[in-house]
Amino acid sequence: MEVAKTIESVRALVKAARSKGKKIGLVPTMGALHIGHISLIEAAVKKCDFVVVSIFVNPTQFGPGEDFEKYPRPLDADLEICRKAGVDVVFVPTVKEMYRSENLTWVNVEKLTESLCGQSRPIHFRGVTTVCAKLFNIVAPDIAFFGQKDAQQAIVIKRMAADLNMPLEVVICPTVREPNGLAVSSRNKYLTEEQKKDATLIYKSLQKCREMIDAGTTDSETIIAEMRKILSQAPSIAIEYVNIVDAGALQAIDPHACLPTGRRGGKVLAAVAVRIGPACLIDNILVDASKK
Ligand code: AMP
């Protein structure tokens, strides 16, 4: 496994692999790797012949007062995980390497970035799409792998790649959870054991949503109220948002209601963001509301 710190070195390694006819996979991460990231790497190893993992805590996607400085950066452990998982190159640029001069060019996906996390994090997705566009240009992967855990991010990146005719496929991998349902996240490291227990209410609230839709509840407000009730069982939880949106357009919708296309139901995304202690945690599930 190679560790590339510069754009030129990762490009040279990818170029050599491509010249041998290898299919290139990219897994963009911010490090502090866990089993969620490993599942993406495994998917990449399965589908591609040459796998690049990028580890870069991207400052442009953090707003003022967010956790950019204290975001965990356990590089040696991350490299060991990559080595064991069969990664070919880990790209670990510095901020100076990725942003060599003042950044004047931004990629902004409209509409899809306005709801959910976009409401409280106005510059977040612009930072994500810009750094992913840079990574796609640097690595030129055939396939890039993202997690359903960050559903809005995955949908936004898919749209960016389609709108800008980027020559790659974006694959979205399922959310990996702890046995108690808590979605695995680098930010879970900020939580005490007690707070981790409270955080299991997030997935419980999402399961409640699925149950209610499956049982035929047609009005989101009723479902959201029940989900909020579950989350409020833990005083440590401060709700940022609880929402049910159309899984394509990310706009609020009643399950089973008529979509603008006239289609009934379809896939809805139930999404939750909460603060627990110092951590902001997000999670979501996709629910097929077309059956009932
Ligand atoms: P991050 O390092 O948090 O920016 O995440 C890098 C990639 O890993 C993103 O595409 C995330 O959606 C994905 N990811 C993070 N946590 C999980 C998880 N629990 N299950 C699946 N994918 C995940």
**pLDDT tens across 65-113, in order?**
999 999 999 999 999 999 999 999 999 999 999 999 999 999 999 999 9
Indicate if ligand 1 lies below 6 Å from the C-beta of 130. no
pLDDT in tens, 34-56: 999 999 999 999 999 999 999 99
198 half-sphere exposure, CB direction, 13 A CA radius: 21
Ligand 1 neighbourhood includes 124 CB (under 6 angstroms): no
pLDDT at 290: 79
The answer to whether the CB of 38 is under 6 A from ligand 1 is no
Q: What is the pLDDT of residues 205-247, one digit of tens each?
A: 999 999 999 998 989 999 999 999 999 999 999 999 999 999 9
β-strands 2-4, 169-173 pairing: unpaired
Establish whether 37 is a catalytic residue: yes
Best of 39, 40, 148, 160 for a ligand 1 pocket test (most atoms within 8 Å of beta carbon) = 40
pTM score, two decimals? Answer: 0.97
Please state, in angstroms and as integers, the Cα–Cα distance from residue 227 to each residue in 68, 88, 180, 235, 277, following that order: 30, 43, 18, 15, 20
Distance 171 CA to ligand 1 centre (A): 13
The response to whether residue 283 sits with its C-beta less than 6 Å from ligand 1 reads: no
Delineate the domains of the chain, giving CATH numbers in brackets.
2-173 (3.40.50.620), 186-291 (3.30.1300.10)
Q: Any idea how long the chain is?
A: 292
| pLDDT (0 to 100) of residue 263 | 59
